[in-house]
Amino acid sequence: MHIKLLPQLRLLSPSLPAASFASMKAGPYIRSNGSVPILGRMLPFKHKFIGFATRLNGQTGSRSFSTRPRPSSSSEFSHKSSGEVRASKSLIEDEAELSDWVSELRTDSFRGRLTSDDEQLDADRARNRDRSRDRERNRGSVKRRRENEFDSFRGSSRNGFRGNSGDSFSRNSRFSKRFVSEEEDNDKDKGESYPRRKVHGVRRESKNVDSWKGKRNERGLNSRNIGNGSRNLGRKSNFRKEEDDDASDFVEERGRKDTGIWGSFSEEDSDIDVEEEDDDDGVFRKNAVSALGLEKGVTNSVSPVSSPGTSDSYLSETRFDQCSLSPLSLKAIKDAGYENMTVVQEATLPVILKGKDVMAKAKTGTGKTVAFLLPAIEAVLKLPPIGRDVKLPPIYVLVICPTRELAGQAAAEAKKLLKYHPSIGVQVVIGGTRLALEQKRMQANPCQILVATPGRLKDHIENTAGFATKLKGLKVLVLDEADHLLDMGFRKDIERIIAAVPKQRQTLLFSATVPEEVRQICHIALRRDHEFINTVQEGTEETHSQVRQMHMVAPLDNHFPLLYVLLKEHIADNVDYKVLVFCTTAMVTKLVANLLGELNLNIREIHSRKPQSYRTRVSDEFRKSKGLILVTSDVSARGVDYPDVTLVIQVGLPADRQQYIHRLGRTGRKGKEGDGILLLAPWEEYFLSSIKDLPITKAPLPLVDPDTKKKVQRALSNVEMKNKESAYQAWLGYYNSVKNVGKDKYRLVELANEFSRSMGLDNPPAIPKLVLGKMGLKNIPGLRSKSLKPVILYEHVLLCNLKERIPDEDYICNLEETEMAAKNLVNKGYDPELIYIRSLKPFDLYTIGNSVKRTHHVLIVECMRTGGIGVSLTAATT
């Protein structure tokens, strides 16, 4: 059920059609302490306030709270065997943007001390030293004996290793290894550490790199030639495979049959001996059809590009001007400073220009955005101009990105490429901004290309007049970070969006990771004859070999001091340091940022609970800066292109293997060097099995001296109690959703309380009963619970000067923040039925209601301008 707040409908209750409220139950009459008099004073008319708490039959219970992407209902997560949890889209990740200051819930504040464990720390150090020594002994041929791996890691940065990496990459790019030969794969199967290849080129230019590579070789991992390989110059060796497809509802809707086309095409298929064929676009492909014995019923092609998977080179030898692009596009490309195509661009451009659907996989930071934007722009250029009399000019290209930052970035790249095509307009629609503003902007400006986040796009489809009609002219649909968008968290929105665009269209799916599950369901979006262009050779690393990856395992209560030491060490070694610290949830991010700020590090923080304007500002600043640390949740995990990031630290479990790879991919972009550290607690170590094919090595823990420990303790005691409480609750919610940890609730609570102690708290903070219920943690020993009161959110237009006169339990927001505040409160465990919004603008309230209803099912809105009475908006759309 979807109730619109039309101006005429402002007066609720008796006059509303009974059917509209059939599923609602009148809630308690809510009086807010003191709020009515204040509002009454502000308004020249008599003010009444009636609240209607509505309840959606059966839905309340099913909407479980989680700090993780979306609720903990088991159906909404797909668990991987290794214990990974494929996180669904978070309420807080992108759709639920939350006002920072609104999170100031009153709580009993108490500060504790940091419990440290020197003995454990020392034991860890000793163990790691031993392990390190063993490794050293085994190494034998390593020229420079290192005191320990951590020092070596630091040393490599000191030696200026990073400096010339970019060059080495462009020099060696070529068509590195395009295809793994049988010989190489056999080597791999035998566990040989270094594939023998008939290749030319440089292995590594830096000694440090060599030493790292040596380490990898010892581990039997895929150390490889870098930036070189068999030079099939001017050629591309792909192979093609087609197979039978089954029907799928969605594809039938699009008028074609499709199936889990990837299902039977395993990664080992790339070992198949193939025969080369010259394609008409000048691209050599290796046709695997006959070799695969799949001639019958073959429907799609899979084209691992032969070289890039084994090369860390991101540039190909092909120049943009060798491709049939419009002269004005070429001019813009030149202005952007791009001359040669990147490998993924070279591989995909000819295929996309031919109009084919493409799913492309290419490593992080290798130019996928241009790879899909450029041919999409060319497609628009080929279309006949729209007559002036057309009232609703179509949107031709729709790019969907999972986060706002990414959407903004893609739009900026599109604008660069459109520099000399002024008649083609790019617009962005993302959450956290006013729907009405976006509506106006789209009306007033050309919008042939639209970049959007899924939730807001769905909002426009449902609520913006004429928008659905404009989408009917769509020619190209792009899903950036496609695996994430097709994951459970976004799936419903994406399906709804796909249903709203024409079946006859070109679809492009791009990502650095394409797990098997996504291959199975990509037919939701793609045509049966699409091509899978994989520039990451199957069976080889999905990460860049010039990024050194390490993990450290330490008890939870050592994590904060260790993080501090790691950052200090890195800063000391890198004048131009630029670090990303990934935390598990938004509230943990906030806590860590507070702590590091207290420790006088140059910190910025970004997560979904920050207002969009703040996020944009911080993101822009970090892009341009050096000497800065960005503490972040997963809003920065994918796609965000921050140049020259020197170190990525991941604290705690990443949501899954893909997320680990994407987070790590914020460094090592465009062939640059970088470092990655994963900091885990001992009980999180199991995660390593899901990334065991990646060249990640265990590093001994750096020394944390007693002074440093005390310093961190002091800093922790300065962090506000409410931040610790929020972090504790968020931490509990996150790990509760992680199958391996959350399955044993008793153990989970023990660990959460360990986390609480690591923040310096003697007693764990109390958690709202409602939240505990939703997390399935009622009556688990070790938890403390509390009840919550109703809350009223005030739109601040008239009340901003009266903040101090508003009772404590109420909040003042501007209009965007009202929505965020509501979500924030729900995330904190407030019952949505006890959240009330007061505002003066019926239209905007309508907008808020419709946005919020996606995730929260009840908001009660009071329309005072007309002296109206409360109107209930419900989240139910069915």
Nearer to ligand ATP, 33 or 326 (CB): 326
At closest approach, how far in Å is the CB of 402 from ligand ATP? 10
Nearest approach in angstroms of CB 320 to ligand ATP is: 7
For residues 656 and 85, the answer to whether their CB atoms sit within 8 Å is yes
* The amino acid at 387: G
* 108 exposure class (CB count in 10 Å sphere: 0-12, 13-18, 19+): exposed
d(CA 303, CA 318): 18
E strand segments, 577-713: 578-582, 603-606, 628-632, 647-651, 674-680, 696-698
DSSP-based three-state secondary structure for 244: coil
Comparing CB distances to ligand ATP, the nearer of 332 and 834 is: 332
Cβ atoms 10, 863 nearer than 8 A: yes
To ligand ATP, the closest distance from the beta carbon of 312 in angstroms equals 13
Taking the C-alpha atoms of residue 812 and residue 792, their distance in angstroms, rounded to an integer, is 9
Q: Give least dist CB 129 to ligand ATP, A.
A: 36
The CA R_g of the chain, rounded to the nearest whole Å, is: 28
* Dihedral angle computed from the Cα positions of residues 587, 588, 590 and 592, in that order, rounded to the nearest 10 degrees: 170
CB of 529 to ligand ATP, least distance (A): 25
- The nearest distance, CB 283 to ligand ATP, in angstroms, is 17
411: Cβ–Cβ under 8 A, 6 or more apart, which residues? 426, 427, 428, 451
CB of 314 to ligand ATP, least distance (A): 7
Q: Which two tokens stand for residue 617?
A: 């500002």
| Spatial contact of 664 and 596, defined as CB atoms under 8 Å apart | no
Pick 93 or 258: Cβ nearer ligand ATP: 93
Beta strands in 589-632, from DSSP E residues, in sequence order: 603-606, 628-632
State in angstroms the smallest separation of the CB of 799 from ligand ATP: 42
Which H or E element spans position 750? helix 745-758
By beta-carbon proximity to ligand ATP, the closer residue of 662 and 856 is 662
Helix (H) or strand (E) holding 843: helix 842-852
Q: Select 169 or 731, whichever has its Cβ closest to ligand ATP.
A: 169
How many angstroms separate the Cα of 553 from the Cα of each of 653, 655, 709? Answer: 11, 17, 18
Measured from the CB atom, the residue of 39 and 518 that comes closer to ligand ATP is 518
Cα 805 from chain centre:
40
| 410 vs 715 by CB, closer to ligand ATP | 410
Nearer to ligand ATP, 92 or 648 (CB): 648
Contacts of residue 77, defined as CB under 8 A and 6 or more positions apart, other chains included, come to: 85, 86, 87, 88, 488, 737, 739
Looking at beta carbons only, is 415 or 670 nearer to ligand ATP?
Answer: 670
Task: Find the shortest distance in angstroms from Cβ 762 to ligand ATP.
Answer: 42
Q: Min. distance of Cβ 839 from ligand ATP in angstroms?
A: 38
Q: For ligand ATP, give the closer residue by CB, 310 or 439.
A: 310
CB of 648 to ligand ATP, least distance (A): 12
Nearer to ligand ATP, 226 or 845 (CB): 226
- Name the minimum Å distance from CB 341 to ligand ATP: 5
Least spacing, CB of residue 94 vs ligand ATP, in Å: 15
List Cβ neighbours of 753 (8 Å cut-off, separation of 6 or more): 764, 782
Would you say 223 or 345 has its CB closer to ligand ATP?
345
Q: Which amino acid belongs to residue 355?
A: G
CA separation, residue 90 to residues 66, 87, 299, 737, 789 (Å): 8, 8, 35, 12, 25
Considering beta carbons, is residue 341 or 509 the nearer one to ligand ATP?
Answer: 341
Distance CA 566, CA 320 (A): 42
Q: d(Cα 306, Cα 536) in Å, to the nearest integer?
A: 9
> Phi then psi for 28, rounded to 5 degrees?
-70, 150
User: What dihedral do alpha carbons 351, 353, 359, 360 form, nearest 10°?
Assistant: 80
Kindly give the pairing relationship between strand 275-278 and strand 284-287: antiparallel
- For 619-667, where are the E strands, in sequence order? 628-632, 647-651
List contacts with ligand ATP (CB under 6 A): 338, 341-342, 345, 362, 364-370, 512, 639, 641, 665, 669-670
CB nearer ligand ATP, residue 327 or residue 337:
337
Pairing of strands 426-429, 449-452: parallel
Provide the minimum distance between the beta carbon of 777 and ligand ATP in the complex, in angstroms, as a whole number: 36
